[in-house]
Structure 1
Amino acid sequence: MTGTLVLAGTPIGDIADAPPRLVAELAAADIVAAEDTRRLRRLTQALDVRTSGRVVSYFEGNEAARTPELADALAEGARVLLVTDAGMPSVSDPGYRLVAAAVERGIRVTAVPGPSAVLTALALSGLPVDRFCFEGFLPRKRGERLARLREEAGERRTLVYFEAPHRLAATLAAMAEVFGAERRAAVCRELTKTYEEVKRGPLAELAAWAAEGVRGEITIVVEGAAPPAPQSLDAAELARRVAVREEAGERRKEAIAAVAQDAGLPKREVFDAVVAEKQR
């Protein structure tokens, strides 16, 4: 009988946000794999809970080497609890490798939902949250950072990033350069902690604010790109663009949708153009 891997969300600031199930899982786990065993000790002391199982470190430096060991323990029936320093394991934190290994072996994986800096920042940002994408940390080198941002410049969904405080000003300046100085954003700092702060405004304004120096854990939320202005294209040109995509291997439905999005037009208008062109 195989064991169970439990991914446990931990508080991102306020210890009172710890779910009751986290306390129960910490007490019951056969193995607790922690990103930082010292922070785990502070967590258990704050929650007044004693771990009865073995505690091992599981962080970026030993994740690849330790995963097989934990996977073997799971296969032998152990209940393994994975906790990171704050938030949900696997989200810009260790965990993905172990989840993948457990899934490959047919081992049950479950979670104790907990606080999330991504969702908390989204909710507080004042920006659209119906569709969003999480981009984690940007590259540290300026050239690589700009290249990544250029790839994301046309993204219509709200974007969420993590960033270190000492790189915040440079990152916001790069975003203003690539996305546009007036693109709306929110910098969420020290979420759920005593000095929580949410600074909202255009990217250029936020970059100037951050240049004075900012401390704490940072989450950036950026408004998605505006939809393109409708292009003035006749029916023949719309049909030609669809035909080019079809010749490249796209199905007609997908080709029509892509052309409509690029042109800023309703899909029905492009469909009608294709039909009209074929009837000529």
Structure 2
Amino acid sequence: MRHSFKTLLVAIAIAATSSIDAYAQDIGLSPTRPTVANGASIQNKGVLQFETGYDAFPQRVPGNQQTVAAGLSYAALDRLRLDFGWSPFVHQSDDVSNTNGIGTITLGGKVELFKEQYHLPKPGLAIQYEAELPTASQHSLQNYGQQITVLINHHYFKDGILDVIANSSLVQADCQTATGCTYGGQQSFALSYHLNEKSRLYAEAYGQNNSASNTPPGTYVFGGFYHQFSDTVGIDGGMRFGVSDHSASVGTTVGLIFGRRVRGKAD
């Protein structure tokens, strides 16, 4: 009887551990940092993902931009993610003024049109939309506009260790000003090399002619990393270097990502 009871306890412990492991693996984190370019994939259905980070850009001309950013995303369907983002703190300075306050809020989502097939040449393809809404902060930190982005990526070589990512977007900005909206875009190309299941290295080149909440206009190259401590927690960071005349000379970024299943179970 004692032996049977001990066997039962061991079986329960193994089952509980397996359940916890399966729950964690069911998260499927899909980071949107540290690069500007993002893949077409999203986290697993029913998973809430939270990201936060800090970006700093000393300007080549007198000035400085620093942003604390935060974002929530929820996978409502297998191929639909809903997004909410905002900047709880933004600092902008130049040779005549200093401004601190809350940055722009973004609302939108991502739709996977084609899921990536590792063993086929067809890449993953997604469309992402963001509406930018002003907050009650100072005018110089405000923006009202929208952005639509096409996202493409595909993994190559053995076990998909190299991920090639390309994004292109159209941007409408500054619609709250008396002179009306301005238009621009952002193009980015990134390589993600998987050192192992938990760690990646990134290299990226991108350019934009409109200021984003955490990136000044210009052309940049970037080197960075992403590491998952567990299936629900990760960290990212890196350095950006301006290569055009009016871009920020150098920038740094660091961030955290968390995931939690809030509805349903894995299929």
Q: By the TM > 0.5 criterion, same fold?
A: no
Larger strand proportion of the pair: 2
TM-score with structure 2 length normalisation? 0.21
TM-score with structure 1 length normalisation? 0.20
Larger helix proportion of the pair: 1
